[in-house]
Amino acid sequence: MHKINLGIIGLGLAWERLHAPALASLADKFKIVAVCDKDLEKAKGVAQSLGLCDDDAYNDYNALLERPDIEAVESLVPITGNYEVAAAIMRAKKHLIAEKPFASSPKAAYELIKIRDMYGVKVMVAENMRYEEQNLLIKNLLTSGQIGNPIFFIDNHIVEYSQESKKGGFGQTAWRQYPEYAGGVLMDSGVHHVARMRYLFGDASSVYAKGRPSGLGFSPYSCINALLTFKENITGHYSFFLAGEETQAPLTGLRIFGTHGEIYLEEPHCGFVNISYKDISRPSAAIAYTPKQGYVHELEDFYASLRTGGKIESTAEKALGDIETVCALLESAKTDQPQTPHETSKITAYVLPRVSQYPGAKSH
Ligand SMILES: NC(=O)c1ccc[n+]([C@@H]2O[C@H](COP(=O)([O-])OP(=O)(O)OC[C@H]3O[C@@H](n4cnc5c(N)ncnc54)[C@H](O)[C@@H]3O)[C@@H](O)[C@H]2O)c1
């Protein structure tokens, strides 16, 4: 099967740390033929590192999209640009690999789905949570009934986000420190948490969240605590604390309780999923997996979809559901009322306040 000729738009951290290494390991499936960044010197540097010439480096994505040799394009721009760049790629009749969140509101994501259908292109949203091996493993354990019927879960995330710049994390980017989209970090990182819950448990039928107003530039809340109920009647507690650190091990992590036992993942990179049983004659087990494989697996999925007609796991519809769920969490925290995620799409002009519009928020 022949390779997919690929263009890349946006050559920042996600390119350097995630997509470039994954694509390098899939050189039998993808050939990068053109790259684009607003910063032309950066684009030329990347083109050179890939063995391309200066003419393959662009600072205007519309010029890149005119190239007839390109079959598919990756959009790796900051969240505020996700809608505009994804729409342009699809209108140019190129298949699309779009970084998460697919758009910054349910309405915009819904519009993108309409554009996809109008131009008949394929879309994979690069939500690695739907491809990480630990999540595939946990899903298999759940669906094969290893812990009986799942009933309850705890999904806990704690990070000192203000230290991200110093630690060289993704949070160092100015657009994340002073976001111009609803939810700030809760949309950027929280969408991954929501995607994993939805991957494991299906659609949430109701969410009820409490937020602690932060006065921070990067998030309306320093902590969000939510009760979620899923359609299979699984209920759980999601918490995301952005201004702290867990100083004791083991971490709370993800714990799923079923009628016969429990699954425990301490953190995504720990390399083992633990399973234990109420029946103490059944030995507990630590099942090994290879962390950080989601970026490779998502590209393999996209390749299979284009070349063999396989079904994409991380569809635009699922990405829309993730965004709706994040917006429902934010709306619930704002109104102190439970919310139904899919109803956030019904409000066509649905716009949540930007982080800078919350009381006490810091701005530039
Ligand atoms: N899946 C993941 O785990 C993961 C991790 C990090 C980032 N992301 C996503 O990847 C995207 C990029 O994040 P990042 O951390 O790389 O940001 P970044 O700021 O490091 O890089 C973005 C790059 O896009 C360029 N750019 C901006 N607008 C452009 C335009 N109109 N045309 C061409 N280039 C443009 C910028 O110059 C910059 O080089 C975001 O949507 C983010 O949510 C996903």
CATH of the domain at 78: 3.40.50.720
Pocket of ligand 1 from Cβ distances under 6 Å: 9-15, 18, 36-39, 61, 76-79, 81-82, 99-100, 126, 128, 170, 173, 175, 188
Structural domain harbouring 191: 133-293+323-357
* Separation of CA 184 and ligand 1 centre (Å): 15
Same domain, yes or no: 214 and 152? yes
Domain limit, last residue, from 104, 129, 154: 129
Q: Does a structural domain hold residue 318? A: no
Q: How many angstroms separate the alpha carbon of residue 220 from the centre of ligand 1?
A: 22
Residues 6+ apart with CB under 8 A from 255: 153, 154, 262, 263, 264
Residue from 35, 77, 292 to probe ligand 1 pocket by mutation (most atoms less than 8 Å from CB): 77
Same domain, 163 and 237: yes
Q: Do residues 145 and 112 share a domain?
A: no
316-335 helix and 190-201 helix, angle to the nearest 10 degrees: 110
363 or 286, greater pLDDT: 286
Query: What predicted TM-score, i.e. pTM, was given to this entire model?
Result: 0.95
Map 71-85 to HEC letters: CEEEECCCHHHHHHH
pLDDT digits (tens, 9 = 90+) for 243-264: 988 899 999 999 999 999 999 9
Residues 6+ away with beta carbon under 8 Å from 40? 57, 58, 59
**Are 8 and 123 members of one domain?**
yes
**Residues 167, 76: one domain?**
no
CA distances from 171 to 65, 149, 219, 240, 270 (A): 29, 38, 12, 15, 22
Check if the beta carbon of residue 38 is closer than 8 Å to that of residue 10.
no
Confidence of residue 180 (pLDDT cuts 50, 70, 90): confident
CA 364 to chain centre: 26
Looking at the domain assignment, is residue 175 inside a domain?
Answer: yes
Distance CA 51, CA 263 (A): 46
Tell me, yes or no, whether 251 and 120 share the same domain: no
Distance CA 46, CA 40 (A): 10
**Tens digit of each residue's pLDDT (9 = 90 or more) over 146-171:** 999 999 999 999 999 888 767 888 98
Count how many domains the chain has: 2
In a domain, 165, yes or no: yes
Q: Is residue 187 part of a domain?
A: yes
> Which structure tokens are listed for 351?
């716009």
Does residue 75 sit in the same domain as residue 212?
no
Average pLDDT of the residues of the chain? 93
Task: Report the nearest-CA residue for atom 28 of ligand 1.
Answer: 77
* Distance from Cα 165 to the centre of ligand 1, integer Å: 16
Looking at 129, 155, 177, which one is the last position of a domain?
129
Final residue before a domain boundary, out of 129, 164, 199: 129
Unique residue bearing structure tokens 């979809």: 305
150 and 112 part of one domain: no
Are 140 and 283 contained in the same domain? yes
What Rg value do the Cα atoms of the chain yield, rounded? Answer: 21
Q: Tell me, yes or no, whether 27 and 172 share the same domain.
A: no
Say if 311 falls within a structural domain: no
Cis preceding-peptide flag for 101 (omega within 30 of 0)? yes
Report pLDDT for 349. 37
Determine the distance separating the centroid of ligand 1 and the alpha carbon of 27, expressed in angstroms.
22
- pLDDT 10s digits, 326-354: 999 999 998 999 999 987 655 433 445 56
